[in-house]
Structure 1
Amino acid sequence: MAGAYYSADVLEPGADWRLLVTERFLAAFGPATTVSTMSTLWRIAADETLGLDALIAAIPVRGVAAVDSYAIAALGRTMTFVVRGGGCADVSVAGRVRRVDARGSEPWYVAEITGVERFAVGPLQRSPGDLVQQPQDLPIDGGVVFGPWLGWSAESAVVPPPRSAPAPVQAPHQPALHTLDPNDTNVLGDLGRRAASLRRHRGEPPATAPTPETQSATAFRLGERAPERVDAPVYVGRQPRSPRVTGGVLPRLVRVESPSREVSATHIELRPTREGLLLTDLESTNGTVVRQPGTGVRRLESGECLPVVPGTLIDIGDGNVIEILAYR
């Protein structure tokens, strides 16, 4: 596909990442990724009947072939970036560069970003300045190559539209790139009152990460209400409604009180997946604050997704705190 390019710089032996390009996906996988794994991932990424979920599900997470670091970009009007371990994506929107990285999130970290002009995927050690394509960088239409990182620019790319759309997206105007803005990354800061409310709610989450036997999150509790199992998409807000096609599964709508209207009408989604429970901020006005076991407090960005495990606390505003549970 036009718009993709990679660096041909020679790294030390064994340090090159595996770079994958198709019409719908650009991805970088860590140096330990096997040829057999890359062959499987290439076939899935090139199959138009399969989506991002199928690609992620095919990445080995255990055994000798486990892939502990990667960064995947799913192209579209709104682009989805999935990162794990030592992988990251540097994304330019309106000339400002944001770094998307996992920061200890398990099993991976997801961000959905609109208006992407350029991006690069690869290891955390790379410089965000590499977003500017250099004359020595090599274009790639599709395939798998070795290299230190993989880039994409909308200047010459055709972004695949949603399947229902008749025409591709037009490339946006490219403003000048600036340096990395530390205030525009997913770096945790002091979240004040809402962080304090999470610490007061049922005490501190466990300091250690969950074990494989306890990490499956399939229920939640809102404040003092009785626990509820998550066996279908759950939408929480002041006046929630289902904003997505649910494939015939009837979603659950959970209404909360919000006297100061801190909570949006449909604030968050909790969606069960094969890998666990996925939390999504549905472009809420005042954001979603999360505290997971063994990590600090973080604020989800608008539209951001995050896998959650038992013990996670979610503050959506006005004192409404959701606790993620393992179903018994």
Structure 2
Amino acid sequence: MLTYAVHGQGSALVTERLILLADVPLDEASELWSSVREYDASFESVLSALAGRGIGQLRDFALLEFVPGAQGAVSTALRGRATIELDGDTYSGEGVTTWSEASADRVTCVTLRLDEAPRDTPSLPLNRGVVQTSELVWGHEPLEQFSLTNTSETDRSALFRNAPALRAMTETNPEEQTIVRRTVPQWMLRFSSGKVVGIGDRVVIGRRPTPIVDNGEKLETLLSPQREVSANHAVLRGLEDGVEIIDLGSKNGTVVQPEGSEIALLRGGSSTVLRAGDTVDFGDGNVAECVRASHP
């Protein structure tokens, strides 16, 4: 699991096998993301893009690659004050003209850091994308997490803006962690394929859904031969008046068609409430209507 601290002015870029933490503003990081092209990005292409403006303008950075086909093997590049911690051993980029490179095997825990975040700084999960942060951790659970149920609307909006690949938030104190209460579904998503998904407790839906909180959630798999549906695409939660749907940073977004209103596209942690008669399109023909559940 990869998490980032909601702290600092650096930027992180994450693909399926690369993690870059750089001392650059978010807009510059987004340009860099486009230049290396997510699916074609390689260790060398990212280094070339970083050095594209000349060594004299090269910013501090930490780059890590999970070596394909070698479990636990990583390659790293470091410059300036950036550090990478591999299973407790810290490597620094201080004192080099360009950058220093290293490799390691059988790595289980990684921390990339520009500046150390305060202990009470919230951490959020990140699958893939660009986000503002000064610290990323891979391989173990973050020390501090937040609960969506105990967060104000203002705080929720701020957290969504900082979480383009948002997956979940749990409380900081494990002893006070919210326990999922199993409820009878009051709502359903009725798909055009005939599939029906009951929505009572939280439901994670996607191509290969996985749990996003420790205390359990319902998982619903959608067939997606063209891979238009993301692995963890969205999370659903039954409310009194409808179904809350939160896009989990899906690649193609989630298309919502409210009954009698204009189509809306949810992306990067944005959310809405589905009412009876509204439809939602997850991609690859997975279109569903929100309806009230009927019980005997």
* TM-score scaled by length of structure 1: 0.37
Larger relative contact order, structure 1 or 2 (CA cutoff 8 Å, min sep 6):
1
